[in-house]
A and B are shown apart, each in its own frame.
Chain A
Amino acid sequence: MASVTLKNIVKKYGDVEVVHGVDLTIDDGKFVVLLGPSGCGKSTLLRMIAGLESVTGGDVEIAGSRVNDVHPKDRNIAMVFQNYALYAHMTVKDNMSFSLILARRPQSEIDEKVGWAAKILNLESYLKRFPRELSGGQRQRVAMGRAIVRDPAVFLFDEPLSNLDARLRVQMRTEIKDLHERLKTTTVYVTHDQIEAMTMADTIVILRDGIIEQVGTPLDVYDFPANLFVAEFIGSPSMNLIKGVVEGGHVVTKGGVKLPLPKKHKAKSGQKVVYGIRPEHLDVGKGFAVKILVTEPTGPEIHVYSEFGENEICAILRERRDLKRGSMLELAPRLDKAHLFDAASGKVI
């Protein structure tokens, strides 16, 4: 087990800089998720920790020592790839023992470790099979088994669930989290799926275009997004973002609708802002009038998409009510849950 530290990491491909000076400390035993849209540099960061990509600038440290020039095989890490990358010509057992055989461990230890991993991952009856004879979820577990038998200092996961169907993804999510609870090995997990990030992480690192936008616990980044990007990226349906200008205790939007200012803010009068309110923080009550466009009942709640002025807004209502297209509804934002962002910088104010 070990901590991982990234110090001012820069990555260039030729003249193109894709990671622009990332600083990050991952404490021993933590489950950290790197989250971001495709092309944000999250996989590149992970591969630099693994040693599969060279580091253009800055230092990667594992357990306090600089590993920039250390070969992947000497970093004491294990990685689970997006496409599993199993050894197709080897049985499940051989796949899992490969690293131990290379390390010249005694046969008894290999058998014991592989047996232990197979038991944890429910693969005991498949040890003699080849990867081609397994289902997607089983292959995924073999890839994880290959990682855990080694007792590595750090686990690296590169979008390991993105190729599984929805039901299996939920199940494997739980299994990976459970595994981490049991082994307590430092884990860096890359995904573009915010639900995965929210459910599994101790800490979420949100990346965009090679820079860190925000680092925090799942609920931190959900409740207190640092900027517009994070506000929009986290949460589904995403946060309502309404452009306007601060004028005497209100935000005046296009079309002249006045929204009350949040409880906490540092906005100045006349400042151009973006007003952020999550759909579930809108209640039916005295506020502003909207015209209903579409309603989507999901069972426990109803998603109501509506318009006011020239803005669109989504509200999530928990109580059942008769809502018809074209009818009017009055919505009140919870002022302790609303956010204000500076329109120019995108930062929260």
Chain B
Amino acid sequence: MEISRPWRVARDFLAVFVTGIFMFPMFWWALTSVKPMYAIFDKDKIVWFDFTPTIVNYAVTILGLSRSQLAIEQGFGMGVTGDGGYDSRQTILDSAIVSVGSTALTMAVAVFAAYALSRMAFKGRLSYLNWVLGQRFMPPIAILIPLVTIYKAAGLRDTDNVYMGYVGLSLIYALMNLPIALLLMKSFFDDIPKDVDEAAMIDGATRWQTFRKIVLPMAKGGVAASAVLCFIFAWTEFLLSLFLTTEIRTVPVKIQTFVTSTGSEWGFISALGTAAIVPSFIFILLVQRHLVRGLTLGSLKE
């Protein structure tokens, strides 16, 4: 259908406008991160672009410049504490380990479980699915205190062993993500017609070969989409990470420590926040080429 020019312009304008609304907080966040202190805290006017950009917020949060060094460079050395407290390099690494770990764990389980739920007939299949979903009905905070006790007893807290801490946090994220990932993957597998499985079996493939060489590659868009969701959840999760870890600091928990009794360090908060977008952005870039719809296109008659 031919759309007239004014309509096309209006449509494009609307699209840009809506996108702008959603993008503005990220833009403001990034802008704040390069502002010097006086531009962030100007009580008389909103500072847009009339400031000298600085990288000191990044220098402190992700390049390891200490807070006191910064204060000395700026010319006031008295009463400044929290030396290494703002260095967030380990934090980003922690977040990355836990997010990738939990995503891998979730997908490893979800892909097989979803295939079974989609393709194999067994007793209680539907109730199983409902039961799995039911796991998400309860808010995490409701089980937080028993969970902390269980983790302590099981030795999954980072205060006993930092590696077990990674395992513990990845495990709980995987458990949180599993129902959604399972449901998503099941619907992606359901979209692949069973005839394709049958054709592969007649072609001489075993069940495993059918799964590995036919069904899974055809569902790789679904795998990518589910993995992105799991990763984002783990990357942004706050509550469980706060309660279950002490040594390990994921990004959301770390940022929260920048709100101190002597004031909120908005420059550092925005700098780490902006920097924290980058790894998840890279992850999404890596998988997004698989995020094309209609991967089964051409398998069937239309």
- Seen from chain A, the residues whose Cβ lies within 8 Å of a Cβ on chain B are 50-52, 71-73, 75, 77-79, 81-89, 98-99, 102-103, 130-134, 136, 139, 146, 150, 163
Which of B74-82, B148-156, B273-281, B292-300 sits within the interface?
B292-300
Q: Is B196 close to A, CB under 8 A?
A: yes
- Beyond the given A71-B201, A81-B199, A131-B299, could you list 7 further A-B residue pairs with CB under 8 A, ordered by the A residue number? A73-B204, A73-B205, A79-B202, A83-B195, A88-B299, A136-B302, A150-B203
| Cβ-closest 7 pairs across A and B | A132-B298, A131-B298, A85-B195, A88-B299, A99-B203, A163-B301, A85-B199
B37, CB-defined interface residue at 8 Å: no
Residue numbers in B under 8 Å from A85 (CB-CB)? 193, 195-196, 198-199, 299-300
Q: Are B204 and A86 in contact (CB under 8 A)?
A: no
B residues near A, CB below 8 A?
193, 195-196, 198-206, 209, 213-214, 217-218, 220, 294-302
CB < 8 Å neighbour of B218 from A50, A87, A146: A87
**8 Å CB contact of B301 from A84, A88, A103:** A84
Chain B residue with the shortest CB-CB distance to A88: B299
- List residues of chain A with CB within 8 A of the CB of B302: 136
Sample (15) of A-B pairs whose CB atoms are under 8 Å apart: A50-B198, A82-B195, A83-B193, A83-B300, A84-B299, A84-B300, A84-B301, A86-B199, A87-B199, A87-B200, A88-B299, A89-B218, A132-B297, A136-B302, A139-B298
Q: Are A50 and B202 in contact (CB under 8 A)?
A: yes
**Nearest B residue to A149 by beta-carbon distance?**
B203
B41 to chain A, nearest CB (A): 55
CB of B301 within 8 A of CB of A79, answer no
Q: Is the CB of B203 within 8 A of A133?
A: no
Are A72 and B201 neighbours in the complex by a CB distance under 8 Å?
A: yes
Q: Which of the listed residues B195, B200, B203, B218 has the most CB atoms from chain A within 10 Å of its own CB?
A: B203
- Given known contacts A132-B297, A136-B301, A87 and B201 CB-to-CB distance under 8 angstroms: no
Whether A73 touches B193, Cβ cut-off 8 Å, given contacts A83-B301, A88-B295, is no
Q: Please name all residues of chain B whose beta carbon is closer than 8 Å to the beta carbon of A103 when the two chains form the complex.
A: 204
Chain A residues whose CB sits within 8 angstroms of the CB of B201 once the complex forms: 52, 71-73
CB neighbours of B213 from chain A (8 A):
98
Contact B193 A77 (CB under 8 A): no
Docked Cα-Cα span, A99 to B201, in Å, equals 9
- The distance in angstroms between the C-alpha atoms of A229 and B295, with both chains bound, is 44
Tell me, in angstroms, the Cα distance from A133 to B199 when the chains sit together: 20
Residue in B closest to A131 when the chains form the complex, CB atoms = B298
Q: How many Å from the CB of A51 to the closest CB on chain B?
A: 8
Do A78 and B202 have beta carbons less than 8 Å apart? Answer: yes
Cα of A94 to Cα of B302 in the assembled complex, Å = 22
Q: Which residues of B contact A134 (CB under 8 A)?
A: 298
A86 and chain B: residue at smallest CB distance: B299
The chain A residue sitting closest to B300, CB to CB, is A83
Decide: A88 near B296, CB < 8 A? Known: A83-B301, A99-B204: yes
List the B side residues contacting A86 at CB < 8 Å: 196, 199, 298-300
A146 to B195, CA, bound (A): 14
Q: Contact at A102–B209, with CB atoms within 8 Å?
A: yes
A85-B195, A87-B218, A89-B217 given; A139·B301 CB < 8 A:
yes
In the bound assembly, the distance between CA atoms of A52 and B220 in angstroms comes to 26
* Min CB–CB distance A334 → chain B (angstroms): 43
B97 CB → nearest A CB, Å:
32
Complex: A98 Cα to B196 Cα, angstroms: 13
A72 and B193: CB pair below 8 A? no
Report whether A72 and B298 are in contact in the complex, using a CB–CB cutoff of 8 Å.
Answer: no
CB atoms of A87 and B204 under 8 A apart = no
A81 and B209 CA atoms in complex are apart in Å by 20
A75 closest partner in B (C-beta): B202
Q: Which residues of B contact A50 (CB under 8 A)?
A: 198, 202
Contact of B199 among A71, A75, A79, A132 (CB under 8 A): A79
Nearest-neighbor residue (CB-CB) of A97 within chain B? B203
Within the assembled complex, what's the spacing in Å between the Cα atoms of A347 and B249? Answer: 84
Specify the chain B residue showing the minimal Cβ separation from A79. B202
Q: How far is the CA of A98 from the CA of B209 in the complex (A)?
A: 11
Q: Are B195 and A102 neighbours in the complex by a CB distance under 8 Å?
A: no
